[in-house]
Amino acid sequence: MSHSHLFGPVPSRRLGRSLGVDLIPRKTCPFDCIYCEVGPTSHQTETRFDYEAEAIVAELGAYLEGSAPELDFITLAGSGEPTLNQGMGGIIRRLKELTAIPVAVLTNGALLHLPEVRRELKAADLVLPSLDAARDQAFQAVNRPLPGYPLSRLLQGLEAFRREYPGPIWLEVLLLKGLNDSPEDLEALRRALRTLAPDKVQLNTAVRPGVLKQAQPLSLEALAAIACGLEGEVEVIASYGGACQAAAAPDDATLAEMLARRPMTAADLAGVLALPLPLVQEKLQRLEQAGQIFCTCYHDQDFYQLVMPGC
């Protein structure tokens, strides 16, 4: 069954088997990160707005009433910044009434300086914000925020949220070669982490094709060395080896919907769907020949993406 706001379950490197919930129109975000696997930001804003909260809750209710697979998390995320949706708090509250499955929120943290956003997020079981740089030059180069949005605003929001939120905070740090991994950047990051005191730091790098070619990944060895130099609980999440289970082979529309969310390799899809790799490759070849998807080689791996309208 095709969904307008739900995607997955997907094998999350951070959250296990996760059902994604898209709270915002595609690529609506305060940032235009150069590594974003979803593509460039088409509507860059930090103004919150109402967006289909009732439809999202109805879709979640129908999904959870059906024969839904076992999930580790329901994750509010998707192809834009979820905290832009003014209905986010109500959606979290309704989810807590519908199910005991933990609710996680993936956010770039850009709106955590707003007290109302911090209040709404208190109902979530886990919040996973981002901090890719603790020096303004690297922040501007990597995250490309709205003009006039300073790093200090992001840091102040993260600090306020740490004080107010009673649940666990897992902070993602995505490092790129030559952009935010210098000794000066890493020292600034160490100082910021001491203040923010997240429950866990998760180091990542550009494992899929991003917006700009300058977004080059660090090696796992480099990430591991950086992790050793940071305080507290730190893990490298730049690869994923788990798999989700599927009851049956998906139709072409389902495959296309998955590839509309993020680039994936044939092996990624085989793991998500618990299908033989040759079967997935055959399906992908047929979709590529039909012009519905295209393949990009990125660091010796073939990633498949949906051909979007107008491209």
Range from 208-217, 223-232, 265-274, 284-293 carrying the lowest mean pLDDT:
265-274
Retrieve residue 258's tokens.
């998955």
Query: Is residue 284 domain-shared with residue 211, that is, in the same domain?
Result: no
Q: Does residue 246 have a pLDDT over 60? A: no
pLDDT in tens, 43-68: 999 999 999 999 999 999 988 887 66
Integer Cα distance of 95 and 43 in angstroms: 28
For residue 9, say if its preceding peptide bond is cis, omega within 30 degrees of 0.
yes
User: 266 and 236: one domain?
Assistant: no
Please check whether residue 1 lies inside any domain of the structure: no
Mean pLDDT of 83-96: 96
Q: What is the pLDDT of residue 221?
A: 82
Show the CA angle centred on residue 212, arms to residues 216 and 306, nearest 5°: 105
Please check whether residues 163 and 74 belong to one and the same domain: yes
Q: Which SS3 state, helix, strand or coil, does residue 90 take?
A: helix
- My answer on whether 217 and 251 are in the same domain is no
* pLDDT (mean) for 108-123: 97
Question: 242 pLDDT band (50/70/90 cuts)?
Answer: very low
- Phi first, then psi: what are they for 152, rounded to 5°? -60, -35
The domain boundary, picked from 229, 245, 261, lies at 245
**Judgement on whether residues 118 and 254 belong to the same structural domain of the protein:** no
Arithmetic mean of pLDDT, 271-291: 74
Asked which of 245, 269, 285 is the last residue of a domain, the reply is 245
Tokens 């550009």 identify what position? 206
Residue 218 has pLDDT above 80, yes or no: yes
Residue 106 resides in a domain: yes
Can you tell me whether residue 113 is helix, strand or coil?
Answer: coil
Average pLDDT, the chain: 86
Domain that holds residue 166: 6-245
Q: In Å, how far are 152, 174, 195 from 189, measured between CA atoms?
A: 13, 11, 10
**Dist CA 294 CA 285 (whole Å):** 9
**What integer is the mean pLDDT of 29-34?**
95
**Would the pLDDT of 277 be above 60?**
yes
Residue 310 binned pLDDT confidence (cut-offs 50, 70, 90): low
Residue 79, pLDDT > 50, answer: yes
Task: Give the count of domains, the chain.
Answer: 2
Distance, CA of 57 to CA of 63 (rounded, Å)? 10
Do 263 and 136 belong to one domain?
Answer: no
In 3D space, the residue among 10, 2, 5, 74 whose CA is nearest the CA of residue 273 turns out to be 10
Model's pTM, two decimal places? 0.77
Between 123 and 11, the more confident residue is 123
pLDDT band at 247 (very low <50, low <70, confident <90, very high): very low
Task: Single out the residue in 189, 212, 245 at which a domain terminates.
Answer: 245
Cβ(226)–Cβ(265) under 8 Å? no
Which 3 state secondary structure label does DSSP give 115?
helix
Please give the backbone phi and psi of residue 128, each rounded to the nearest 5 degrees, phi first: -125, 85
Amino acid 269: pLDDT: 73
- Model confidence over 126-166: pLDDT tens digits? 999 999 999 999 999 999 999 999 999 999 999 999 999 99
